[in-house]
Structure 1
Amino acid sequence: MSQDNAAPAPAAEQGSRNFWQRVGAALVLAPGAIAVAYFGGWAWAVLVTAVAIGLFLEWLTIVGAARDFRVLVIGCLTLLVCGLGLIFDKPGPAVLAATLGVGGLAALGDQPRRWTTSGLGYAALALIASILLRRDPDYGFSALVLIFLIVWGSDIGGYFAGRSIGGPKLWPRVSPKKTWAGAIGGLVLSLLVGLVFALSGFGKIIPLLILAAVLSTSSQLGDLFESAVKRRFGVKDSSHIIPGHGGLLDRLDGYVAAVAVAVLIGLMRGSPDGIGRGLMVW
């Protein structure tokens, strides 16, 4: 057998191993995230705050600012205060803390301000949106589960459609492996999620299908955004904390974008205490 014919075997074996690592990690993390979201309250707020700090630290590692002590202190304290404010049902001070923290990083003049402030804003957005959405006592949990499933559907549908169909690349300069087939496959599976929710009595079919399409598109754009940041700094994975997935940023980039858009829609149609209702009830 020629060397050219034998070469793809190790790559295929590595791809299969990576796939099963992803499946194993998902089977552990997904039920845990849903369980904590179900309990809500301080448990969900603590988890989200810890994850937001992790997102910020990974972002600093990507942009090369992880050793700047002032940036670390300002950023982590900002997210901690923001999380505590939301735990004690004080969204106003939480948003103020995030604003002051981002402003504090922007005021530092001897470090890459644009990237560090963007990272803190990104993590704070994930934190605030996730907790505000869950505060809705009637629709917060179901809205979060809908977002989880749409984001996971976008990822799973994109993975299998992209690998089985292939075809033209979506944005090769940013993410060489993503294809238009994968993007469409992720969208289709997300629409199925929206349809199942509608048929289960969580809302009307057409609005939930439109919502699923918007959130799936947001999730995929969030994924591309994180890929663009990593490519800008020549980084493959944000970390190696999750087997088969890389880091928290690699796993949650789509979720951060989707939950931010979901909260914006919910606020436009509801109130800070009824974001889930504004999102789900049309």
Structure 2
Amino acid sequence: MRSELGLRVISAIVLAVPVLALTWAGDLWFRALAALLALLIYYEFAAIAALRHRQLVGWALGWGATALAAALLAWGAFFQAFGAVALAAAIALGIALVKRQAPWTATAIFYAGLFALALAALRGSGAAGLIVLVFILAIVWATDILAYFCGRALGGPKLAPAISPGKTWSGALCGALAGVIAGSAIALALGISFTVTLPLVALILSIASQIGDLFESWVKRRFGAKDSSRLIPGHGGVMDRVDGLVFAVFAAFILTMLMPSAEQGAGGGEFAARLLGQ
């Protein structure tokens, strides 16, 4: 147990340093990180669902589209990258419908590709993008940590026993509260004006992160997988580490499309202004 814990700590530190450095740098460096995440997540999703054996044509299409989208994203061609993801997912969905198969390939393409695109768009290249990403990460991490410890300490009714038997309603509620507190605290600490929408946004992102956690658990349980992969010693795979972040980023990006902004900016500034109500 101690050796496993030590391995988890070492792996977390080794990964955290370059990830935080690239997040701080933004621009091309962070887009390259987002592109790499797209490739790794598609690889893991495809492996969990055994797409190479179940849907060979879709699996190959997904690899090609994800690789193309990753290259376009790293280059900064967001619209072209989104087009590659959307077109490939639509074709994969069409193939699945014709063959009367479950649309797992389309889901994998959409899940990996859209996450990377939304993540890079939210970060952008400026300081505002860095603030909004720190805001999201704080909510996701606080939600995950408090949900785990409060759930174990308080117990009570299960949240979704058929999907993840260990999760409880007490943990989910504590996690959501922690996410709101953490998001609000980070926003205030970084000099963001406190508005009535800020705690609401934090709550939405916290709930989204928990839904993302449940979604990945459901996919793994559907195919009998314990971890998404063994890429990260002591932690499992990339999907295991970013499951909550994926849906939180989805939610944040959708909110930026729905919420008006008082100022327009480049390099992530407009997304940050909209999400944080500035």
TM-score, normalisation: structure 1? 0.86
The equivalent residue for 2:277 is: 281
Which residue type is aligned with residue 261 of structure 1? A
**Does the CA-based 8 Å contact 2:27-2:125 persist in structure 1?**
no
The equivalent residue for 2:152 is: 163
Q: For structure 1, which segment, 244-253 or 23-32, has the greater mean C-alpha deviation from structure 2 after superposition?
A: 23-32
Which residue type is aligned with residue 44 of structure 1? F
Which residue type is aligned with residue 38 of structure 1? W
**Does the CA-based 8 Å contact 2:157-2:169 persist in structure 1?**
yes
Q: State the 1:30 CA deviation.
A: 3.3
Once residues 166 and 58 of structure 1 are traced to their aligned partners in structure 2, the CA distance between those partners, rounded to angstroms, is: 32
CA gap of 1:28–1:202, structure 2 versus 1, over 3 A, is farther
**Does the CA-based 8 Å contact 1:132-1:272 persist in structure 2?**
no
The equivalent residue for 1:182 is: 171
Q: Give the count of matched residue pairs.
A: 268
Once residues 18 and 86 of structure 1 are traced to their aligned partners in structure 2, the CA distance between those partners, rounded to angstroms, is: 36
Once residues 90 and 115 of structure 1 are traced to their aligned partners in structure 2, the CA distance between those partners, rounded to angstroms, is: 26
Are positions 1:34 and 2:20 aligned together?
yes
Once residues 216 and 53 of structure 1 are traced to their aligned partners in structure 2, the CA distance between those partners, rounded to angstroms, is: 26
The equivalent residue for 1:11 is: none
Which residue type is aligned with residue 166 of structure 2? K
Give the one of 105, 109, 125 matched to 1:116. 105
TM-score, normalisation: structure 2? 0.87
Identity %: 35
**Does the CA-based 8 Å contact 1:52-1:127 persist in structure 2?**
yes
Q: State the 1:111 CA deviation.
A: 8.6
Structure 1: segments with no counterpart, 5+ residues? 1-13
Are positions 1:243 and 2:230 aligned together?
no
Q: Secondary structure of 2:39's partner?
A: helix
Once residues 167 and 126 of structure 1 are traced to their aligned partners in structure 2, the CA distance between those partners, rounded to angstroms, is: 33
**Does the CA-based 8 Å contact 1:138-1:276 persist in structure 2?**
no
Once residues 238 and 192 of structure 1 are traced to their aligned partners in structure 2, the CA distance between those partners, rounded to angstroms, is: 30
Structure 2: segments with no counterpart, 5+ residues? none
Q: State the 1:142 CA deviation.
A: 0.8
CA deviation string 1:62-87 (max 9, x = no partner): 11213565434321221222233233
The equivalent residue for 1:134 is: 123
**Does the CA-based 8 Å contact 1:126-1:260 persist in structure 2?**
yes
Which residue type is aligned with residue 60 of structure 2? V
The equivalent residue for 1:191 is: 180
